[in-house]
Structure formats: C-alpha cells, structure tokens
Amino acid sequence: MSDTKIKIAIGADHAGFEYKEILKDFLQDYEVKDFGPYSADSVDYPDFAHPVASAVENGEFTYGILLCGSANGVAITANKHQGIRAGLCWKNEVASLVRQHNNANVLCIPARFVSVDEAEQITKTFLTTAFEGGRHQNRVEKISC
C-alpha cells in the first residue's frame, strides 16, 4: 500500500451529526476533512452534501461520506453532480455491491436506521472494496447525462 493516505470528505445534517463525529474517530487511518455541520443544530442537508460531492468530483478527495436520517436527501443531492456515484447503504452487503458494481465514490448512510457498529462496518466495507470493472465498466460509463 502507498504511503499516501486515502482522502475522505465527510459531511452530514443534524440527524447524522453524531455518527459523523464517531466515524471521524473510526477513520483515523485516513486523511479526513469534516465539511460540517459542527453541531447537532437543525441544518439543511444540501448545504453539506454539495460541498462534499464537489470535493470528490474535483478530485481533491478520493471518497465522500454523507450521513442524514434516511440518507435519501444526501444521496439525491450528491448524485446531482455529474462525477458522483453516491450509494445509499443500510447493509454491509449493499456497501460492497455499490463499490463492486457501481464504482460508487460517495457513501450515504441512514443514521436513523443503522447502529453505530453497522455504520462503521458499512464504512470499512465501502472503503476496502474494489470496483470489479469488466462488464460493470460499460454500465458505469453510461450513468452520466
């Protein structure tokens, strides 16, 4: 493995704030930038999902992690960016498949529907699973408009 740490952009809304803080500690072996929020006060998820998606899309970060209550809002927002393939993952197997088959570059976790342990395992799986390429490459190339 390279000496260069994988760079991860992370963000959330108020419902995902607590898990974001826990995941930052869990990701100590990676270079992580927190795009907010910085408290559990009510916020609008697009204000954090767009900057995370932009940072991944422009190549500043390898992956993004977004958390909100259902993860639908952050996934929808991130997927508005042409270079983003955000996957909503509520099970470890889904995290594996979005990497293997979709080459997802943003992980979206529904904080209200998974435990902390599940969120950590989903994150680990997402970050350590490779894209299979092959028959999936052609499909991924057809995603952008």
Asked if 145 is an active-site residue, the reply is: no
Note if 89 is an active site residue. Answer: no
Q: Where are the beta strands (DSSP E) in the chain?
A: 7-12, 31-34, 63-68, 86-88, 106-110
Sign of torsion, CA 7 106 116 132?
negative
Q: Tell me which of 68, 81, 89, 108 is the catalytic residue.
A: 68
Return the percent helix, strand and coil in the chain, to nearest 5. Answer: 40, 15, 45
Return the structure tokens found at 25: 């500690």
Catalytic residue, from 14, 50, 81, 101: name it. 101
* Catalytic (active-site) positions: 68, 101
